Amino acid sequence: MSRTIPYDVIVIGAGIIGISTALKLQSKGKQVLVIDRKGVAAETSSGNAGAFAFADVIPLATPGIMKKAPKWLLDPLGPLSIHPAYAFKILPWMLHFWRASWKDRYVNALTAQSNLMELSKAALERQIQEVNGEALIRREGQLQLYEGETEFKAAQPGWDVRKKYGVKFEFLESPEAIASIQPGIDARFTHAGFTPEWKNVVHPAQWTQHLANEFKKLGGNRHYRNHFN
């Protein structure tokens, strides 16, 4: 005996991705059910930095990054740490990552990421309007800070790439210039790159919950099995 499920789509996971997907499908007239084992924004989407990092077009897999990995692994404060028990398991992924850092793949990824960012920027503005969410958005840009000129100069290749790919930014080359954007920053930060189009949500869990509320409101309870509330 077959049983009909009264939904076109069932989304598993009520994080930012699941809820955004559900909202979009709902706006296209689909009957959508969202299921989560815990609740809205119960995991990663509750505790991230809440940034729409539109200036971050450069992929992590940059040429030469694998040469830096051994040094990072040995440094307890380095940006990479792999538990010895996990090293073998992660090896296939690391090999893919290494291949992705070759120049040809890197350039393709950079172009794709930059195009995606443009699409995402426009999609975010539409979403903010559709869910009446402006009060939860902070349009303050972002500062990347450098301790001294040497550090700032070392970061130039990254800024050159951003410029080539159309990212808007300006350089601030004194603590006073930095303070004009964000007062109170320690004077050891002498240089900064300011990306005005970077946006934040006031709180990632609040933003996801807001979208979930809209989903419920627009679709009616009968299409939304709220296991969690």
Ligand X SMILES: Cc1cc2nc3c(=O)[nH]c(=O)nc-3n(C[C@H](O)[C@H](O)[C@H](O)COP(=O)(O)OP(=O)(O)OC[C@H]3O[C@@H](n4cnc5c(N)ncnc54)[C@H](O)[C@@H]3O)c2cc1C
Residue appearing with tokens 């960012």:
117
Give yes or no for a contact between 34 and 224, defined as CB atoms under 8 angstroms apart.
yes
**Element of type H or E holding 199:** strand 199-201
- Structure-block tokens of residue 142: 């972002």
User: Given candidates 7, 30, 31, 45, which one binds ligand X under the rule CB under 6 A?
Assistant: 45
Q: Verify binding: residue 43, ligand X, rule CB under 6 A.
A: yes
Q: Which of 39, 56, 11, 53 is nearest to 208 (CA)?
A: 39
User: Given candidates 9, 25, 53, 69, which one binds ligand X under the rule CB under 6 A?
Assistant: 53
Q: Verify binding: residue 37, ligand X, rule CB under 6 A.
A: yes
Nearer to ligand X, 126 or 153 (CB): 126
Nearer to ligand X, 38 or 126 (CB): 38
- The window from 30-38, 98-106, 121-129, 151-159 that contacts ligand X (CB under 6 A) reads 30-38
Query: Do the strands 9-12 and 32-35 form a parallel or antiparallel pair, or are they unpaired?
Result: parallel
Q: How many residues comprise the chain?
A: 229
Nearer to ligand X, 9 or 177 (CB): 9
- The window from 6-14, 61-69, 102-110, 220-228 that contacts ligand X (CB under 6 A) reads 6-14
Q: Verify binding: residue 213, ligand X, rule CB under 6 A.
A: no
Instruction: For 120-152, give one letter per residue: b (16+ CB within 10 A) or e.
Output: eeeebeebbeebebeebbeeebbbbbbeeeeeb
Q: Verify binding: residue 128, ligand X, rule CB under 6 A.
A: no
Nearest-approach distance from CB 226 to ligand X, in angstroms: 13
- Structure-block tokens of residue 91: 């090896």
- Structure-block tokens of residue 166: 């159309």
Q: Verify binding: residue 193, ligand X, rule CB under 6 A.
A: no
Nearer to ligand X, 163 or 225 (CB): 225
Q: Verify binding: residue 15, ligand X, rule CB under 6 A.
A: yes
User: Given candidates 10, 28, 38, 148, which one binds ligand X under the rule CB under 6 A?
Assistant: 38
How are strands ordered across the β-sheet holding 170-172?
A: 142-146, 191-195, 170-172
Q: Verify binding: residue 42, ligand X, rule CB under 6 A.
A: yes
- The number of CA neighbours under 13 Å toward the Cβ of 156 is 4
Binding residues (CB under 6 A) for ligand X: these are: 12-18, 35-38, 42-45, 48-51, 53
